[in-house]
Amino acid sequence: MKTGKTSSLTKIWIDSITGHKVEKIVNRSGSNRSFYFHNNPFLKSADGQDDLMVFSGDTPTGNQYFTVNLATKEVQQITNKKGNKRGEIVGSKTRKIFYMIKDSVFSTHIDTHKTEFIYKFNDDVIGSVTTLNADETLLAGALITKEEQEIFKKNPKKSSYFDKIYDAKLKRSLITINIKTKEFSSIYSENAWLNHIQFSPDHTDLLMYCHEGPWHKVDRIWNINIKTKDTTLIHKRTVHREIAGHEFFSPDGKTIWFDLQIPRSVTFYLAGKNLDSGEETRYALKRDEWSIHYNISPDQKSFAGDGGDPGQVARAKDGMWLYHFTPKGDSLVSEKLVNMKHHDYDLEPNVHFSPNGKQIIFRANFEGNSQIYAVDIAKASKIN
């Protein structure tokens, strides 16, 4: 079938152009959203037999978190507290999801559904948490000023607030919260838009953050050791209008991968900086293969991309595809997996490899609202 609303309603189909099987993997009423591309949504089932994926779904009491068993497709609701929840933070060791409602941080156990209060930010600050460290003892996030919050409120669309927040140069601070002791620490402050905060998956004290704003104006990607407070620039721009961004850690924490364009909208790479050797790897891509977000397979041998519409930075004429990429020399060889011509890229697909590496999971609005799908990397001859 041609991928779109009709195919989505059938729940399982083979994309008529790519030949890959696509499945709607969450079947519940309302809108359902998978996680942002660098937030890990996966953990094992309680018996260790299957893989679970955490996702967010609309309910009459606000969005709630759910799990879907990737083998059986069984859906279980995890949270029940009223109110809209922010944060996509899964602790696979503690088997908890961490999130915020208004100014307070909570955790809910994946299996027992027991909810615990963790921390409330003071009334005179505006705080958030976005990431969990490798041993699952610390949450990290940012404090922003009330002046910055007002800019967001008055300019809700990204196209309106993006330059305004960057130009304002207001103070932001990186913060941590100890989950057990509730200790709050401010670890670093700067008059800059500090964003995209991610803990290393293997180094408990290593935190990545970015200088957000127009990418061609910032040296964006940084690491900080939260104990020593030493900061390190990951990629230094070398030419006018060069950009690097949408950074993410490899599963082993040894490499930071990112979208690299030298200069912006002209030459396209997926680049990776090895944190031990300092060596930078660059894989070239064609314009139509550029993707808003990339991700890496569990075995770290291939990549996925979610494409983009003609209005994106690449100005691609035929870029509305989900891609699987395989390195060959200094380039990536692409295979189209899903035709995204009937998807509105205002909702970014945010690709994830499944834990077994056989599927790529994404969100799309073929039906008019957000739903969650998986496409097989191997081509299908028929639907079993």
pLDDT of residue 289: 98
The whole-angstrom separation of Cα 108 and Cα 102 is 16
> Which tokens in the block code for residue 225?
């050791």
Cβ partners under 8 Å of residue 327, min gap 6: 283, 301, 302, 303, 333
The whole-angstrom separation of Cα 133 and Cα 136 is 5
The whole-angstrom separation of Cα 106 and Cα 86 is 10
The whole-angstrom separation of Cα 225 and Cα 208 is 9
pLDDT of residue 224: 98
pLDDT of residue 159: 87
pLDDT of residue 124: 87
Task: Pick the closest to residue 201 from 372, 5, 366, 38 (CA basis).
Answer: 38
Task: Pick the closest to residue 245 from 213, 221, 274 (CA basis).
Answer: 221
* Angle subtended at Cα 79 by Cα 76 and Cα 80, rounded to the nearest 5 degrees: 110
In the β-sheet with 104-109, what is the strand arrangement from edge to edge?
A: 86-91, 96-101, 104-109, 115-120
pLDDT of residue 222: 98
Residues 63, 85 contacting (CB under 8 angstroms): yes
The mean pLDDT values, 10 residues at a time, for the chain of 384 residues are 96 97 97 98 97 98 97 98 96 98 98 98 94 98 95 92 95 98 97 97 98 96 98 97 98 98 98 98 98 98 98 97 98 98 98 98 98 96 68
Handedness of CA 322, 327, 330, 335 (dihedral sign): negative
pLDDT of residue 103: 97
> Which tokens in the block code for residue 24?
């709607």
The Cα-based distances of 260 to 245, 267, 281, 321, 349 in angstroms read 7, 8, 11, 20, 20
Residues 22, 374 contacting (CB under 8 angstroms): yes
Handedness of CA 153, 154, 156, 159 (dihedral sign): negative
User: pTM for the full model?
Assistant: 0.96
The Cα-based distances of 263 to 83, 121, 230, 289, 322 in angstroms read 43, 41, 29, 17, 24
Q: Are strands 86-91 and 75-77 parallel, antiparallel or unpaired?
A: unpaired
The whole-angstrom separation of Cα 55 and Cα 290 is 26
φ, ψ for residue 9 (rounded to 5)?
A: -70, -20
Task: Pick the closest to residue 362 from 292, 274, 284 (CA basis).
Answer: 292
Task: Pick the closest to residue 167 from 196, 192, 142 (CA basis).
Answer: 192
Q: CB neighbours (10 Å) of residue 54? A: 22
> Which tokens in the block code for residue 74?
């069984």
Predicted confidence (pLDDT) per residue in 70-110, tens digit:
999 999 999 999 999 999 999 999 999 999 999 999 999 99
The whole-angstrom separation of Cα 372 and Cα 253 is 27
Task: Pick the closest to residue 349 from 335, 336, 365 (CA basis).
Answer: 365
The whole-angstrom separation of Cα 160 and Cα 245 is 20
φ, ψ for residue 153 (rounded to 5)?
A: -65, -40
Residues 6, 13 contacting (CB under 8 angstroms): no
Length of the chain: 384
